[in-house]
Amino acid sequence: MNAAQKLMSVRRDFRERDVRVVLVALIIAVATVATIALFASQLQRTLVSSASSFLAADRQLEAENGRPVPPEWLEEARSRGLETGQMIEFSTMISGPEGFELASVKAVSDEYPLVGEVEIQQQASDGAREMVASGPAPGEVWINPRLLRLLNLEIGDSLEVGNLPLKVTRLLIREPDGGFRLSSLAPRVMMHVDDVAATGAVQEGSRVEYIYLFAGAEDALDGYYQWLEPKLGPSHEWEGVREGETLSRSFDRAERFLLLGGSLAVLLAAVAVAVASRQYALAQRDTVALLKTLGLQGRGIGRLYLRRLALWGIAGIVGGLLVALPLFRVLVALLSEALERPVEVYLDPSALLPALLTAVVSLFAFAYPPIRRLRRVPAMRVLRAQPGETGRAALPDLFIALLAIFGLVWLYAGELVLVGALLGGLALLLGVLGLFGLVLMAVLRRVNGGGNAWRLAFVGLYRHRQASLAQLAVFAMTIMLAATLILVRTSLLSDWQTQLPEDAPNHFLINIAPDAVEQVDAFWADRGAPLENLYPMVRGRMTELNGQPVKEAVSKDERINALNRELNLTWMEQLPEDNEIVRGRWFDASDTEGVSVEADLAERLGLELGDRLTFTIGSAEITEPVVSIRTVQWDSMKPNFYVVFPPEGGLVNMPATWITSFYLPEQKKFALNDFSREFPTVSVLEIDHIIGRIQDIVQQVTQAIETILALILAAALVVMAAVVSATLRDRQREGALIRTLGGRQSLLVRSTMLEFALLGLIAGVLGVLAAEAAVYVLQARMFDGSFRWHWQVILTLPLVSALLLALFGRWQLRTVLTVSPMLLLRRLE
């Protein structure tokens, strides 16, 4: 290798502190952005497939009219390359040797489930569970463990479904599509679809649902639906995965958080790259002057440094990906653990694009400008120090860089609010900093020098005022970005926590007769599992809006599930705690008319206050004006209703049953058997395993978020180290001089640590306040949370930053204290 090559060689280059900082910053940025993008894409894919398994398919077609769909519908689906399957659901009495029980039967075809797996137990005794990808064979039946106890059966015994004896071969623990369907309330029995006819339980006119399962490529599914849609009748319902997905909102926010984290990582990395490359460029001026003196031309210098930048970029990208890929695998493993099933690793190559862009933009918007200016270093510098560049030269660069970085964040997060909040927060911060800096310097000017560490610290701040202010700005910015992330994370996690607390309701009781309400309430109160609010429930359809059939009144593009099925209507006196009136007013005790409608439904129907809605309940029709629109926490695991009436309103005299939810701990589950015996008509919906699963997933996603947070805090530390080390040489020289002139080591240490602690404290206070401002906007606009001051963080973070910077200051001094002043001065020549 020749000398010029060696001078520019990567290995040699990477031994320079500033280059290492640039590289570490790039690696962290690329790693964070790549990990987040990969994981977000994986998460989305996994959740979609996980949601698909809630349907046991990608799509379901339900026929609620008790009649199968024409066979050619299924043939068409198969001809389009889709997988199909069939289920028949009905309720019937099951008889065993010791009695009868009402059961909810699901008969499945051989293909079931198209997506997901069925969890079963081979033996009642040992409890070992396994996952299988099929339903029972003809002649067999799988039953819910509770039914086994109710009928006092053993595995291997026979029971009768209608007229047909079937052998119990497995216990059915969990079906993938066992979600929240209200029709499947009685204990579940699963059998083969070919046996249904022989049971005699399904007759013309009996209440039965035919459900068809479809799976395949998205575009094939969409194409099929386009073909199918005109043929669908009012009792046909086409269900996709996005409907009724309780997890989606939580994950939507998790995804936004991850995007926010990624954006902050990009910003932090850009700051680190900018600071370090400026230092690098400053340090390179002598070399450039010498190379020019020795005859290297401007273009040659430009080429040399461009090559360097390219090499840094490649090293940053390769290094970043080397960190990101294993990290991504770890996160996927966590996810797979949370979902209790193997997750297919999905390495989305397009998810790597933002990471590559980050590296390239950081380098060219932040590192290139100071390095490009190296070409202008006068050769005369070899003979005499030249005036340094003025800040004015850097202004256009700064402008371009800011534009580039916010463009990048926008592209990356796709959220204008996010970009606005961060930009606004930063602008506010810099404005306050400018003012504050002026005041600070005016105050510091009055401090006289002296032998006292405090005085030396103040004087030090004043003497390095330009560097101090620049450092203050970068520290405050870094702290702001890190604090924003910490604050958002904290409120996100606490939101989840309150949304799904340990004792979230995990059982629903449905179909409680009015005269049994008190007894049911007492039954559970006696067993230490008190019921939450009890609500009456009346089934009805929304048929007209202002006198027009409601399906005609809304735009054809909107498919509103609520209109395609019977709604659960209720009345209540008190607005549930987690509901919120957004327009209109809640009912008075005296109200006898009016309804309160859920906000999303109201929006999709284009409802205004005063619009008149007609409901068909059995043979009756009632029409009521809309008096309020309210939001509902759908994922609260409590009974929620689209439409609510006042207690003395339109539902008076309508046939109602009652519904409630409550928390039943695992060890009290046996009480369900007594309950079913005592109240055979009340249906119990056990959702404890679903809740458990959601809690698991939330916990794992939390871990993922913590991992990302750690990465970003590491980026923040790198930025700080870069900035502190920017003045390293000056400070070392000064320290060596102070020691040469007889200053004591302890004085030097104390005054430097104090100086940095002061910087850290001021930057911490300003940064945290700016972060609160950004969080205020973000909470309101992106995370639908309510804002509150975070006193704990406001009080602790400035202290932490003061301590951290004091330690950084001490670390800077280490050479000054261990090496003799003479040696040091000579080395710094």
Partner 1 sequence: MNQMTDFTRNEARPMLRVSGLSHRVRLETDTLTILQGVSLEINRGESVAIVGRSGSGKTTLLGLLAGLDTPSEGVVELDGAEISKLGEDERAKLRASRVGFVFQSFQLLPALSAQENVMLPLELAGIEAPEARARELLERVGLGERLNHTPRQLSGGEQQRVAIARAFASDPVILFADEPTGNLDNRTGQAVSDLLMQLNREKGTTLVMVTHDERLAARCGRQLNIEAGILTEPETAREQADQ
Question: What residue ranges bind partner 1 (CB under 8 A)?
Answer: 2-4, 6-7, 12, 15, 286-287, 290-300, 378-380, 382-384, 827, 829
22 vs 569, which CB is nearer to partner 1? 22
CB of 374 to partner 1, least distance (A): 13
CB of 315 to partner 1, least distance (A): 18
Q: How many CB atoms lie within 10 A of CB 152?
A: 11
Query: Which two three-digit tokens encode residue 543?
Result: 């048929």
15 vs 231, which CB is nearer to partner 1? 15
User: Which one-letter amino acid corresponds to residue 565?
Assistant: R
- Whether residue 762 contacts residue 479, with contact meaning beta carbons closer than 8 Å, is answered with no
For 637, left (φ over 0), alpha (ψ -120 to 50), or beta?
left
6 vs 788, which CB is nearer to partner 1? 6
242 vs 299, which CB is nearer to partner 1? 299
Cα→Cα distances 372→20, 267, 335, 514, Å: 19, 22, 45, 81
Distance CA 804, CA 761 (A): 10
4 vs 435, which CB is nearer to partner 1? 4
CB of 386 to partner 1, least distance (A): 10
Distance CA 552, CA 529 (A): 46
Q: In terms of Cα–Cα distance, which of 720, 731, 651 is closest to 478? A: 720
CB of 730 to partner 1, least distance (A): 18
Q: Calculate the dihedral angle through the C-alpha atoms of 112, 114, 116, 120, rounding to the nearest 10 degrees.
A: 10
Residue 283, φ and ψ in degrees, nearest 5? -70, -25
2 vs 792, which CB is nearer to partner 1? 2
User: Which one-letter amino acid corresponds to residue 567?
Assistant: L
End-to-end CA distance of the chain: 29
Long-range contacts of 732-737 (CB under 8 A, 24+ apart): 732/812, 732/813, 732/815, 732/816, 732/824, 732/828, 733/824, 733/825, 733/828, 735/813, 735/816, 735/817, 735/824, 736/816, 736/821, 736/824, 736/825, 736/828, 737/821, 737/825
256 vs 292, which CB is nearer to partner 1? 292
- Whether residue 115 contacts residue 238, with contact meaning beta carbons closer than 8 Å, is answered with no
CB of 300 to partner 1, least distance (A): 8
18 vs 544, which CB is nearer to partner 1? 18
6 vs 585, which CB is nearer to partner 1? 6
CB of 465 to partner 1, least distance (A): 20
137 vs 296, which CB is nearer to partner 1? 296
CB of 288 to partner 1, least distance (A): 11
CB of 291 to partner 1, least distance (A): 7
Residue 236, φ and ψ in degrees, nearest 5? -95, 135
CB of 396 to partner 1, least distance (A): 22
CB of 6 to partner 1, least distance (A): 6
DSSP 8-state class, residue 179: S
294 vs 403, which CB is nearer to partner 1? 294
Distance CA 169, CA 606 (A): 52
CB of 16 to partner 1, least distance (A): 8
CB of 43 to partner 1, least distance (A): 46
Is the dihedral angle over the CA atoms 250, 252, 255, 257 positive or is it negative?
negative
Residue 174, φ and ψ in degrees, nearest 5? -150, 130
296 vs 398, which CB is nearer to partner 1? 296
Query: In a 3-state reduction of DSSP, which class is residue 121?
Result: strand
Distance CA 188, CA 143 (A): 6
DSSP 8-state class, residue 4: H
Distance CA 292, CA 491 (A): 57
Q: Calculate the dihedral angle through the C-alpha atoms of 475, 481, 486, 490, rounding to the nearest 10 degrees.
A: 140
CB of 15 to partner 1, least distance (A): 8
Quote the radius of gyration of the chain (alpha carbons, Å): 34
CB of 273 to partner 1, least distance (A): 22
4 vs 800, which CB is nearer to partner 1? 4
Query: Which two three-digit tokens encode residue 624?
Result: 């009521």
CB of 412 to partner 1, least distance (A): 37
Strand partners, 534: 660
CB contact burial 709-748 (16+ within 10 A = b; e otherwise): bebbebbbbbbbbbbbbbbbeebbbbbbebbeeebeeeeb
19 vs 103, which CB is nearer to partner 1? 19
287 vs 499, which CB is nearer to partner 1? 287
120 vs 304, which CB is nearer to partner 1? 304
Residue 414 burial (10 A CB sphere; 0-12, 13-18, 19+): exposed
Residue 135: half-sphere exposure toward Cβ, Cα within 13 Å: 31
282 vs 423, which CB is nearer to partner 1? 282
CB of 8 to partner 1, least distance (A): 10
Cα→Cα distances 289→295, 378, 386, 511, Å: 10, 6, 11, 88
The beta-strand segments (E) located in 699-802 are: none
CB of 49 to partner 1, least distance (A): 54
218 vs 829, which CB is nearer to partner 1? 829
CB contact burial 593-623 (16+ within 10 A = b; e otherwise): ebbbbbbebbebbebeeebebbbebeeeebe
CB of 358 to partner 1, least distance (A): 30
